[in-house]
Structure formats: structure tokens, C-alpha cells
Amino acid sequence: MARGKGATIGFVPTMGALHEGHKSLLDYARKENEVVVCSIFVNPTQFNNADDLKHYPRPQSEDIQLLEESHCDILFEPSVEEMYPGKDYTLLNEDFGMLDKVMEGKSRPGHFAGMITIVSKLFQLVNPDIAYFGRKDFQQLMLIKYFVTEHKLPIIIRDCPTIRDKDGLALSSRNKRLSETERMDALLIPQSLRKVKEMWRKYPVEEIKETVQNLFSDESGLGLDYFEIVYEPTLEPVIDGQTRKLPVVACIAAKAGKVRLIDNLVIQ
Ligand code: AMP
């Protein structure tokens, strides 16, 4: 109906447990569109870890409150049966080249197939003009942009900056699961990214990588999953002496206790 009147639809897909990071996406959408739609769907097919899915926070009434405060017009909160009728969990078999083979793709097999399947389904149902995604999930954003371009979908993808707590930790729904000590330990993630930015161009890539690995020693309380320095949007690793005229992004994934956290920073 809104579209009939020439209104544009801004769409913010989420998995709920909304925080200021999600709110910033909703605020961008509010500024640019007559109608703002938010979806909340904890997509089972993008979890490669059953424990992570089971413990994913689902604070429904707080979410609704944040959506009201953000002047969101429509909340779409489908059931698993609605999104995967008849328990048909067939996933899109998209060729992303190397985009889904590195970093998160390597560490979480199947994650991106699940993610792109649900994003594609949501795009078809909501049919937005502009969809808003956070740079916090940098690799996801690169895949979605690639997908939209490849399929010539008439949707603008807006990337929105990562919102952080005052101490630098990137906001994430999973932060709710951190103990006090784990929350403190997790600060090493943004700290190491800032260190990388300081070292960038002054030291060889390998030396920077070694420094980060050393920062995540046994005493750090964190388990480093990966640290990579890649070009945007190709996600190719940066190699000394082969510089390309593209932005460079430092990406990190680490575990604090049972909680896996990711973060990234543009360093060039
Ligand atoms: P999620 O609910 O974690 O699937 O995230 C939904 C959307 O919010 C994605 O586009 C995320 O990249 C984005 N998002 C999550 N955390 C942040 C953050 N700290 N800052 C900005 N965007 C975020």
C-alpha cells in the first residue's frame, strides 16, 4: 500500500536482542524512507553451532520497546515454519568465489549459505528500496553487496558504521552472554585493532600479524580464531609489495569463554 503512494521502504534485517548498533541502522532508515521495516528472525540455518543457536538471546518485549523508540513502522517477526515451510531447509547454492571461503566462511562452514538464503527470502517478502547493514559484520556486508550486484536486484545496500561501547567493544547481541571477566578480556579485540592501525605502513604485514598473535597469548583469556588484513571489497589478503588501490580492513574473530566475537577496522 505504501509503495502505491510512492513511498520508499527502508529495511533493517536483524536477529533481535536489539542494541544501539541496530538502533543506528533504524535511525539511518528513518531519515531516508517513509516506511521503516525491521525483521527479527533468529535464522537456524546460519548457525553452525547448536549451542550458539540455543543460547541466542531473545528479549522480545525489550526489542519491541527499542523499535517503538526508533519509530519503526513495521516489525516482521516470522516463525521458522513461515520462512522454511514444511521444514524445507534447502539453501541457495551461490558462487561467491573466494568471498565465502575465507575468515568467517572458513571458521563457520555453511554460515554464509544460510545467511544469504534468509536475506534473499526477506528481500523478496519485504521488497525494500534500501536495506541497511552494519560494517560490524564486514564479510557478510561484502557478500550481500556482491549478491545484489550479481542478481541485479533493485535494492540499495547501505553500509552503516560499527557502534561501540565507550570502552571500544563493538556492540553485539552476543555481548549479553559475557561474564564480567570475559567482557574485560574482550576489550583486547578493539585494542589490538587500534594497535594494528598504528603499526600499519610502518611494519610488514607478517610482523603485524605476529604482534596480534602474541597479544592473544594464553594469559589474554581469549582464543584467537583468525586475524586477517584484507582488501575491501575483494577480501584478498594484503601482501607486502603488492599494494592495490583499495581500502584495507583488519578483521578479527576471537572467543571469550564460549562466546565468539568478531570485529574489524578500516586501516587504510
Ligand atoms: P544481527 O542482529 O547481529 O544479525 O545484526 C543485524 C544487523 O545489525 C546487521 O546488519 C549487523 O551488521 C548490524 N549490527 C550488529 N551490531 C552492530 C554494531 N555494533 N554496529 C552497527 N551495526 C551492527
**What is residue 208's predicted lDDT score, i.e. its pLDDT?**
98
Site to probe by mutation for ligand 1, drawn from 11, 14, 38 as the one with most ligand atoms within 8 Å of Cβ, is 14
Cβ burial of 103 (10 Å; 0-12, 13-18, 19+) is buried
Q: What is the pLDDT of residues 163-222, one digit of tens each?
A: 999 999 999 999 999 999 999 999 999 999 999 999 999 999 999 999 999 999 988 999
* Predicted confidence (pLDDT) at residue 3 exceeds the cutoff of 80: no
* Predicted confidence (pLDDT) at residue 5 exceeds the cutoff of 80: no
Q: What is the pTM of this model?
A: 0.97
Residues 6+ apart with CB under 8 A from 86: none
**What is residue 223's predicted lDDT score, i.e. its pLDDT?**
97
Q: Is the CB of 25 under 6 A from ligand 1?
A: yes
Q: What is the pLDDT of residues 81-108, one digit of tens each?
A: 999 999 999 999 999 999 999 999 999 9
Closest CA to 67 of 32, 28, 25, 38: 38
140-160: average pLDDT: 98
Catalytic residues: 22
150-156: average pLDDT: 98
Q: Is the CB of 21 under 6 A from ligand 1?
A: yes
Residue 1: pLDDT band by 50, 70, 90 thresholds? low
Which three cell numbers mark 24?
Answer: 543506528
User: What is the DSSP code (8-state) at residue 87?
Assistant: G
Q: Is the CB of 160 under 6 A from ligand 1?
A: yes
C-alpha triplet 194, 197, 203: angle, nearest 5°: 130
